[in-house]
Amino acid sequence: MNIIYLLVREIKYFTNFQNKMYQFLLFFQPLIFLTIVYFLQQLRGDVNTDRFVVASALISMWSYVLYSSGSSLVSQRWNDTLKLIIAAPMSLFQVIISKAFSNSIIALITMVLSFIYAKFIFGFSIHIENYYLFYLSVLVLIFSLCVVGLILAIVFASFQNVFDYQNLIHTPIILICGVFIPVDQLPAVIEYIAYGIPMTWGIKAVYEAIDLNTMMYTSMIVSIFVSFIYLFLAVFIIRKMEMVLRQHGKWGAM
């Protein structure tokens, strides 16, 4: 139960809509992307805009998770609140996962906004055959984003020099996870890498759910499976991290 309270508090207290970067990612980025899509589709009449409305949402969701979850542990270290968290009875894993989860839920805002912008500002018609299946696929995507956020939080906190390259991770992930072009059309090496990322499957599931592709259940199950593998990995690493932290009394490299 505790973890649920923690999650609610996390969303209530730590979601910082004052942060200008987050404002930009959540509210403006979809608008800008959709504007570009709007004018590009005028160049060719028969563009299926559904995919790009969803792409707009995915890009902003991913950006938000990258910058919020990614820096969630690092920023605790800057604020020197990390040792308070370690000292609390709640395990470090619970704390981080609740942060990652709350950030993925917040990222949903931008998905909703993308649809609203698309419908009411740009007049795109959106064809979703079965809304329940679409919601289901979005839930699967949220789970995969949450796990990715968790992994990023750990990696960034452990390797300061990786955190410096945060911006460099942003675009490649969009490109290889199949946001624009289906993963199976990518070069083989990249395709294999992409299938190792939980989000790839979540994104695939969402696209397939829009037009009721029969593969969607498989994609959802694989997405959940891959996400769980990372989750268990994360549990293990965080336990280990906690031990190291207690032994050294400070953050070192793992």
Partner 1 sequence: MFWIHKYGFTNLSYKALYSFQSIRLFILFRIVDPVMHYFFYATLVSAMIGSDYLSFVVIGNIASYTCHTIMINFMTMFRFERRYGTLELNIASPTPTLWIIIRKAVVPLLDGMFVFAIGLLIGWVIFGVALPLNQIGNVFVLFVVTLFSILSFSLLFACLSLLFSNVNLFLNLALAIFQVFCGVNFSVTLLPSGLEFFARILPLTHSIEALRSIYGIESFAIYPLLGKELLIGFCYLIVSLLFVSVMEKAARKRGALLKSI
Closest to partner 1 by CB, 12 or 20: 20
Residue 96, both tokens: 């981080």
Name the minimum Å distance from CB 122 to partner 1: 13
Integer angstrom CA distances of residue 90 from 75, 86, 225:
19, 8, 26
Name the minimum Å distance from CB 29 to partner 1: 8
Name the minimum Å distance from CB 89 to partner 1: 37
Binding residue for partner 1, selected from 14, 24, 163, 217, defined by CB under 8 A: 24
17 in contact with partner 1 (CB under 8 A): no
The span from the CA of 166 to the CA of 66, in Å, is: 8
Name the minimum Å distance from CB 244 to partner 1: 27
Residues 6 or more apart whose Cβ sits within 8 Å of residue 239: 93
37 in contact with partner 1 (CB under 8 A): yes
Angle between helices 92-116 and 72-79 (to 10 degrees): 120
Q: Which of residues 88-147 bind partner 1 (CB under 8 A)?
A: none
Closest to partner 1 by CB, 181 or 254: 181
Q: Which of residues 163-192 bind partner 1 (CB under 8 A)?
A: 164-165, 167-168, 171-172, 174-175, 180-181
Burial of 186 (0-12, 13-18, 19+ CB in 10 A): middle
Binding mask 139-168 for partner 1 (x = CB under 8 A): -------------------------xx-xx
Given phi > 0 = left and psi -120 to 50 = alpha, else beta, which region is 161?
A: alpha
215 in contact with partner 1 (CB under 8 A): no
Cα atoms found within 13 Å of the Cα of residue 240, Cβ hemisphere only? 11
Q: Which of residues 39-58 bind partner 1 (CB under 8 A)?
A: 39-44, 47, 51-52, 55
Q: Comparing C-alpha atoms, which of 65, 134, 139 is closest to residue 102?
A: 65
Residues 6 or more apart whose Cβ sits within 8 Å of residue 209: 128, 130, 133, 134, 136, 137, 216
Closest to partner 1 by CB, 28 or 228: 28
Binding interface with partner 1 (CB under 8 A): 20-21, 23-24, 28-29, 32, 35-37, 39-44, 47, 51-52, 55, 164-165, 167-168, 171-172, 174-175, 180-181
